[in-house]
Structure 1
Amino acid sequence: MPVTEKDRDILARTIWGEARGEGTAGQVAVAWTIRNRVFDGKEKSWWGEGYAGVCQKPWQFSCWNKSDPNYQFLIGVKQIPFRELAECRIAADQVVDGKVSDPTGGATHYYATSIKAPAWSAKAKQTLKLGHHIFFKDVP
């Protein structure tokens, strides 16, 4: 599947919205979670098609919810600081281009430790805790 410039931009913006305070390792982990959804092995994935489709699937990444304070930055109404977006773009490109391995062990889900654990996490397999995120796979 070809990766477009739009895919790379949307992925970088999603990383910014979800993990800008997590450093490179945390940003890479979030990007890999998205990549694991993009390449889930299904011909027509529930997650959406391509990086942009997966990132912008309704109610999957909260930064794209219209009520989220990050949303106005992601759609360009407000300006994301150049350096912050550039750092997220580096993480996005490394993951898309396969230059870094998956630190999440195949995770397709995560949540921020600042929120109450979602119900789905009780029966899922935790694969990584990094910074302020906990990552999971085999989510029922």
Structure 2
Amino acid sequence: MTVTDKDRDVLARTLWGEARGEGLAGMVAVAWTIRNRVVDGKDKSWWGEGYAGVCQKPYQFSCWNLNDPNYPFLSGEKPIPAGEFASCRLAASQVIDGLKPDPTGGATHYYATTMPKPPAWAAKAKQTLKFGHHVFFKDVP
């Protein structure tokens, strides 16, 4: 699969929006969840095509929702602090380039523990990891 500069940038922006407070290991875990969707083995995946397509699939990663407070930063309307973004780019590159193993055990979903309650899908999915403020799952119905 060809990975474009846009794919790298959108993945890094998604990591900033979804996991910037989780440290490098937490961002790597979120990035692997996205990579697991990208490489799901299907010709035309429901998740979207490539990293940018998966990250920006409507209503999959809330930071890309137009009403999310992170969106002005992800869209470029406001600048992301350079130091924070450098960590996000590092995590994105490590996952895209296969330099870090998958700590999520094949997860395709996660939710933030800061949510008022877990999403309904989590009840029937297999939890693979709890790390920082995220809980990761696979085999989501």
Q: TM-score, normalised by structure 1?
A: 1.00
The Cα offsets for residues 116-140 of structure 1, whole Å up to 9 and x where unpaired, read as: 1000000000000000000000000
Size of the alignment, in residue pairs?
Answer: 140
Equivalent residue, structure 2, for 1:110 = 110
Q: Distance in 1 between matches of 2:99 and 2:43?
A: 25
Corresponding residue number in structure 1 for 2:75: 75
- What residue number does 1:2 align with? 2
Distance in 2, matches of 1:42 and 1:119, equals 25
Equivalent residue for 1:26? 26
Unaligned runs of 5+ in 1: none
Question: Corresponding residue for 1:92?
Answer: 92
Which residue is equivalent to 1:130?
131
Q: Secondary structure at the match of 2:21?
A: coil
Q: What amino acid is aligned across from residue 26 of structure 1 in structure 2?
A: G
Aligned equivalents of 2:41, 2:126: Cα separation in 1: 19
* TM-score between both structures, scaled by the size of structure 2: 0.99
Give the match's secondary structure for 1:59. coil
Identity in percent? 78
Q: Which runs of 5+ in 2 are unaligned?
A: none
What letter matches 1:84 in structure 2? E
TM-fit CA distance, 1:17: 0.1
